[in-house]
A = this chain, B = another copy of it.
């Protein structure tokens, strides 16, 4: 079942010591993580970066079997998890199109599917089209479940890799200045990121988005309640000059339905290009959850501050860390 971590701050060293059990049974939502466990997970992710081919570390999950149960296709996320498992010596059972296997096809419930698949594997990574599906799966399964995105709901490993990337690129999380740009209304990525950033001190967030896809009030209120400063702006250049991180996102056409005119207007409004780079500080970086269309121009790619492909790679290390922690502990 879902297990929300309750960690006493005094004994982190022993809680996270090698050989200890991981505090979570499943990874379902960003809310499960506090800054202490994040810090410990990031430490493991950093060790994952150092693992060499055919070293003992590369065999830590030998004999374990991961089932990737994807009810909607997401090749990027699936490959990242499968690469993570195999980099640690584990094996994978793949279902790119689990929908055929499910209620949609013959009327089987998600719970029954999970009870069958848990008989064949040691951990389930699930992508689903319905919010809350991951929680239901975790409540049923006797083995760990990782949520790889459930509809409009959560995608916690993306949130973790974003925060990990900021720490790796900038060197700290307290005192960070982040500009969230683009589709702030529909993007679960930026919403989860705002949520996790609230765990750090003296954070400032700038929202830069077309009018139709502005950040919603629930997140704004949440940040306020946690003492996180935020500000809305229509001036990307000015925000870029102040931030440590410019986090650009894709305007999602599918959210606009018939209103192609609104989509086209929103899409062209805030582009990260050479000019934006020029306004940014030397130590600052550009991030993006990918895939990108033209909201970051390709001329930016060659700049060392373009961090989005390193960010994608960090997803590998975060997922290696989580698989290792859930299956064999600290």
Chain A 293-323 interface residues, beta-carbon cutoff 8 Å to B: 293, 298, 309, 312-313, 316
Q: For A87, list chain B residues within 8 Å (CB).
A: 65
Q: A52 to chain B: closest CB distance in Å?
A: 9
Q: Given A58-B63, A94-B94, answer yes or no on A79-B120 (Cβ-Cβ < 8 Å).
A: yes
What interface size band does chain A fall in? 35 or more
Q: For A58, list chain B residues within 8 Å (CB).
A: 63
Cα separation A64 to B95 with both chains bound (whole Å)? 22
Please give the count of copies of this chain that the complex contains.
Answer: 3
Whether A91 is near chain B, meaning CB under 8 Å from some CB there, is yes
Q: A271 to chain B: closest CB distance in Å?
A: 15
B96 touches A312 (CB 8 A): no
Cα separation A101 to B111 with both chains bound (whole Å)? 29
Q: Given A63-B53, A63-B58, answer yes or no on A292-B112 (Cβ-Cβ < 8 Å).
A: yes
Whether A171 is near chain B, meaning CB under 8 Å from some CB there, is no
Whether A86 is near chain B, meaning CB under 8 Å from some CB there, is yes
B112 touches A98 (CB 8 A): no
B290 touches A116 (CB 8 A): yes
Q: List 23 A-B contacts (CB under 8 A).
A: A53-B63, A54-B62, A58-B63, A65-B86, A73-B97, A73-B100, A73-B101, A75-B95, A75-B100, A79-B93, A79-B95, A79-B120, A83-B93, A86-B91, A94-B94, A96-B96, A106-B293, A107-B291, A107-B293, A108-B291, A112-B291, A112-B292, A115-B309
Q: For A96, list chain B residues within 8 Å (CB).
A: 96-97
Whether A117 is near chain B, meaning CB under 8 Å from some CB there, is yes
A82 touches B93 (CB 8 A): yes
Whether A76 is near chain B, meaning CB under 8 Å from some CB there, is yes
Q: For A67, list chain B residues within 8 Å (CB).
A: 79
A101 touches B120 (CB 8 A): no
Question: Could you say which of B53, B83, B293 contacts A120, with CB atoms under 8 Å apart?
Answer: B83
Chain A 64-106 interface residues, beta-carbon cutoff 8 Å to B: 64-65, 67, 73, 75-76, 79-80, 82-83, 86-87, 91, 93-98, 100-101, 106
Closest 8 CB pairs of A and B: A108-B291, A53-B63, A75-B101, A83-B120, A119-B313, A54-B63, A107-B293, A86-B91
Residue in chain B with minimal CB distance to A86:
B91
Q: For A64, list chain B residues within 8 Å (CB).
A: 53
Q: For A32, list chain B residues within 8 Å (CB).
A: none
Chain A 30-74 interface residues, beta-carbon cutoff 8 Å to B: 53-54, 58, 62-65, 67, 73
Q: For A250, list chain B residues within 8 Å (CB).
A: 106
A98 touches B75 (CB 8 A): yes
Q: A187 to chain B: closest CB distance in Å?
A: 14
Q: A189 to chain B: closest CB distance in Å?
A: 14
Whether A241 is near chain B, meaning CB under 8 Å from some CB there, is no
Whether A121 is near chain B, meaning CB under 8 Å from some CB there, is yes
Q: A319 to chain B: closest CB distance in Å?
A: 10
